[in-house]
Amino acid sequence: MPQSLKQMQKDCTDARAAIQRARDHHYAIGAFNLDNQETLIAVTKAAAAKNAPVMVEISHGEVEMLGLNNVRDMVNNYKAEFNVEMYINLDHSPSVEAAKAGIDAGFEFIHIDISQANHDATEDEIIASTKQVVEYAKKTGALVESEPHYFGGGSNRFTKAFDYEEIKKTFSTPEGAQHFVQATGIDTFAAAIGNLHGSYPVPKRLDLRLLESIRQAIDCNISLHGGSGTPGHYFEDAVKIGVSKININSDMRIAYRNTLEKVLKENKTEFAVIKLMDEVIDAVQEVVESKIDCFNSAGKAKPA
């Protein structure tokens, strides 16, 4: 059911207060990707168990499968049932039109990523499109996130190790971040400091000194994409420096698939798959809870 503009504005006001609390008290709100209802249940149960604020997020593929309004309704239902503080982020929205649709659906956080659809998009093109979304978001007060260039990797498990020296060539710079934030008016800057989408056979390394320089150069929120496969101590340090949003996807998908394959193998005569999902949900929930601990957000949910 579509929300009223008044309700959207209230939700976005609450979201702004939530991200400000994260900055003030040095923790990050986890942004966890949804594939289906089971992953939403896992995130919700983790938020309740840890008393933590969370974001759930969907990218363009999930939007096409699930629908913006359906996700909004499901999140509202589980928020009420479990009494948790939970917001929705539209992740890697590939166009201005898609981002506007997320705003119209009442999503509190909007990530506009023009380079996702066009890896060769120029910074001027990205700035122009981002400014349009920032202006449109004033309708509800949604927080807008963006970055000035394509962010590599993908939401999958990769068998080949990445070349760290090549990844370093795409790192954010304090000067570039400052220019982009001032030119667009975004609420959240997606920093590239060694974080990379996907899971790899080698652990990721975050350049925390670079993160400190970026934090000093800009006033807005900082997010880290590609959090899967990152040793937890990096997150513990990153939130102390000033990161207030961290995205997790592949770690959840790996736990989901591995556990589903296990229970299917153990229950070859059971065709009511719903009866097999409790263990799968528990496995994803365990991943989410472990990230919440690393992000220092346990116990930080807004009192009801």
Which residues are known to be catalytic? Answer: 91
Structure tokens at 246: 């961290």
Q: First-to-last CA distance in the chain?
A: 23
Cα separation of 225 and 147, whole Å?
11
Identify whether the C-beta of residue 248 lies closer than 8 Å to the C-beta of residue 228: yes
DSSP character for 228?
Answer: T
Structure tokens at 263: 């229970």
Identify whether the C-beta of residue 285 lies closer than 8 Å to the C-beta of residue 42: yes
Structure tokens at 58: 């969907």
What own/partner pairs with CB < 8 Å and gap ≥ 24 does 178-182 have?
A: 178/217, 178/218, 180/123, 180/127, 180/146, 180/147, 180/148, 181/218, 181/219, 181/220
Phi/psi of residue 194, each to 5°? 120, -15
Sequential DSSP letters for 108-121: SEEEE-HHHH-TT-
Cα separation of 61 and 74, whole Å?
17
What own/partner pairs with CB < 8 Å and gap ≥ 24 does 11-16 have?
A: 11/87, 11/106, 11/108, 11/140, 12/108, 12/140, 12/141, 12/142, 12/143, 13/141, 14/87, 14/108, 14/302, 15/87, 15/108, 15/109, 15/142, 15/143, 16/141, 16/143, 16/187
